[in-house]
Amino acid sequence: MIETSKQALANTFVMYFKAQSYHWNVEGINFPQMHEFFGDLYEELQGAIDPFAEEIRALGEYAPKNLDEIFRLKSIDGDNVATNASAMVADLLIANNQSIVTLNKLFGELDAAGEQGFADFVAGRLDAHKKHGWMLKSILKSGE
């Protein structure tokens, strides 16, 4: 449960940084919309980082203490190699889907351990990622 908690936090941190980086670097005809979308996404993810770390501390464990530890713990790809808006969105969708896998695993572990408060927080994160996934998939959908 502790390692899965740390992995979920690391994934959130890496996805946050991906969205922040894409916010900074997006270009193209849809720049204003994508810049705003990536900004909204990174702000939402950033808002989850501190509560995640505090939940880990409430379990009596230490949250990751440096970027090396974040990168060791994450289960999503940390490389930001996308160079256009569509590739950026596709990269974030992959990261989001992996985050959901980890959050689902964590929810089950927390529920089994009777950690209802933390499980409730994770359920909220799952709802947020479900919405992120819907938006990311909608952006990638070609006009029909």
**pLDDT digit string, tens, across residues 40-76:** 999 999 999 999 999 999 999 999 999 999 999 999 8
Q: What domains, with CATH codes, occur in the chain?
A: 2-140 (1.20.1260.10)
Question: What's the rounded Cα separation, in Å, for the pair 1 and 56?
Answer: 10
Tens of pLDDT, residues 2-26: 999 999 999 999 999 999 999 999 9
Taking the C-alpha atoms of residue 63 and residue 65, their distance in angstroms, rounded to an integer, is 6
pLDDT digits (tens, 9 = 90+) for 84-117: 889 999 999 999 999 999 999 999 999 999 999 9
Q: What is the DSSP letter of 66?
A: S
pTM over 0.85? The answer is yes
